[in-house]
Each structure stands twice: as structure tokens, then as C-alpha cells.
Amino acid sequence: MSFARLVLATRNADKVREIRGIFDLRNGELKSLLDYPHFPDIEETGGTLEANALIKAREGFRMTGTPCLADDTGLEVDALGGAPGVYSSRYAGETATYAENVRKILSVMKDVPEGKRKARFRCVLALKAEGREEWVEGVCEGVILPEPRGAGGFGYDPVFFVPELGKTLAEMSLDEKNAISHRGRAFRGMAEALRKNPV
């Protein structure tokens, strides 16, 4: 990996665990805001995934002085006009749990028939370093099931079914999920960008 140290602008331990499984960390150090407990939380005030990712990457860089990566991820459901989108993590309220968000989306979609439940996860990953700012995107297509399946993953993973593998994200091993997930694709794209142009 072509960096000495990067900071992930997140305190989501589940997200950090997934990302560590994607990056080759033999030659670089990957930290997160969990390593900087005295720093304030970064408010996501953007109206798009791209805007929020850049806000977090810029603020993380400003606070730490270290090249910073930040992602914003949204679940986009066709039958809901692309919702919950940028509000995915707080769909059932500002302090909603994963389970509460899942319950809400299943409730909202209870009358949506099987053939109309197409959805996708989009992950926008931004990098901010001295004199450099860029972003990449990863997408994972799937279907929202009418009830949860699987005990792994986090967030909407138990109801997000990937037809090509015949499993929900929550039924996959971490390696399986990272191979096809929106976050895995975005971070592999950024890893390639860092190989070509190190920070």
C-alpha cells in the first residue's frame, strides 16, 4: 500500500473492521477517529453522499494533519424513489439503531411486491491530503427481502439480498462480502489510485 499513515474519518467500529479487511496494511498504518477520542464528531451536513464524504475527509485532515479517507454510504431503493439514500443511517431517527432502521424500511415496503424491490448500496469514498482531493464510488446491486436473513454484517445487511450469490450480505463471510460490496469496490478503487499516486 502506498501510504505511511492514513486516517479513516469514522468512529463506526464495524466499518473500520471491514475496511481493514480490504486494505493491504503490511507497509502502512491505518487509523480511525476511534484513535482520537478527544476530537469532536464530524457533522454530515451535505445533501449528497459525495458532499458528506468530502466534508468528513476535509475535517478529518484538518484535525489530524494526516491524509484522510472518509466514506458516505446510502441504500437506494427504487420503489422508494431512491430513499433512504443520504439518510440511510438515520432513517428511523437521528439515534436509530441498525435494527430500528431495518424495521422501518420493512414496514415502509410491506406492500411492495417481490419484483419491485430492487435496490443498491452506493459508497462514495473521498481522500483529502495536502494539495490533493479526490473521490471514487462503489455500487452493489441487490433486492430488499421482506424479512431479515443472516447474523453477520451490520446495518441493512440482513435484508439486502445479492442475487448473483444467492445470499444476503449478512449471510456472507467478511471475505465474500468485501469481494462484491459497495464499500469493497470503493476502497479497492482508492487503493489502486494510491498505488498510482501515493500520499
Which residues are annotated as catalytic?
A: 72
Report how far apart the first and last C-alpha atoms of the chain are (Å, whole number).
Answer: 10
List, in sequence order, every residue forming a beta bridge with 160; answer none if it has no partner.
144
Given a contact cutoff of 8 angstroms between Cβ atoms, the answer to whether 158 and 149 are in contact is: yes
> Strands 132-144 and 167-168, how do they pair?
unpaired
CA distance 172 to 158: 10
User: Which residue, 182, 118, 85, 177, is CA-closest to 168?
Assistant: 177
Maximum pairwise Cα distance, the chain: 51
